[in-house]
Amino acid sequence: MANISMLGFGNELHSATALDNQPSLRIQTKGNNNKIIIGRECKLNELNIQIESNGNMLHIGDSCRLKGSFIMKIADGNQIKIGDDCTIGGANLICGEGSRIIIGTDCMLSWGIEIRSTDSHAIFQSSDGKRINPAADIHVENHVWIGAHCTILKGSHIGSNCVVGIHSLVCDSFPDSGQVIAGIPARAIRQGINWDRRLLG
């Protein structure tokens, strides 16, 4: 049986996948008016969902296989959306300050991945005290492969059919389809590609 604790009022959990046979799934909410929607035929047996603010939305599509942690905190109104047919071998998604992390359909994420739309701590200009590191949305379009040990930071945009190389640090926008993105910081190193889950050729 999944470990589910929803503290507060107005919280909703709607799942088209039976959760009683996923004993390592952990869902904890500490806040109000949060909504979690889980699609059909998902495998979430090693997933930790932690919501610590109000008015958040988590939407997991159909036929997803996910491992890792999804954390929404630091101000209200955050959103994480995972499209249909996605696989995540092990990733931490940290979403805060009213931002969004959107991952499209048929994405393949390896393990040791960090995706964060907030720095979780403030950086100020010393001259006037103005904060210079606000949160920003992250958008990973459809059919993106993210290699092991990558970090995707706030404001990043990865176009469809792209591949992100192992150990890369993405902190920019790469909206064009079919690129290989790699490096620290990441840059586009090849265009005009696509990829397949099968080892073809």
| pTM for the whole structure | 0.96
Give the integer Cα–Cα distance in Å for 8 and 157: 34
β 35-38/57-60 pair status = parallel
Burial 28-55 (b: 16+ CB within 10 A, else e): ebbbeebbbebbeebbbebbbbebbbbb
Per-residue pLDDT of the chain (201 residues; tens, 9 = 90+): 689 999 999 999 999 999 988 889 999 999 999 999 999 999 998 999 999 999 999 999 999 999 999 999 889 999 999 999 999 999 999 999 999 999 999 999 999 999 999 999 999 999 999 999 999 999 999 999 999 999 999 999 999 999 999 999 999 999 999 999 999 999 999 999 999 999 987
Would you state the CATH architecture of domain 3-120+134-191? 3 Solenoid (2.160)
Q: Where are the domains of the chain?
A: 3-120+134-191
**Are the C-beta atoms of residues 194 and 179 closer than 8 Å to each other?**
no
Give the integer Cα–Cα distance in Å for 106 and 118: 25
**Are the C-beta atoms of residues 61 and 83 closer than 8 Å to each other?**
yes
**Are the C-beta atoms of residues 122 and 134 closer than 8 Å to each other?**
no
Give the integer Cα–Cα distance in Å for 172 and 170: 6
Amino acid of residue 138 = I
Give the integer Cα–Cα distance in Å for 25 and 76: 24
Following CA atoms 136, 94, 98, 135 in sequence, which dihedral angle do they give, to the nearest 10 degrees?
-30
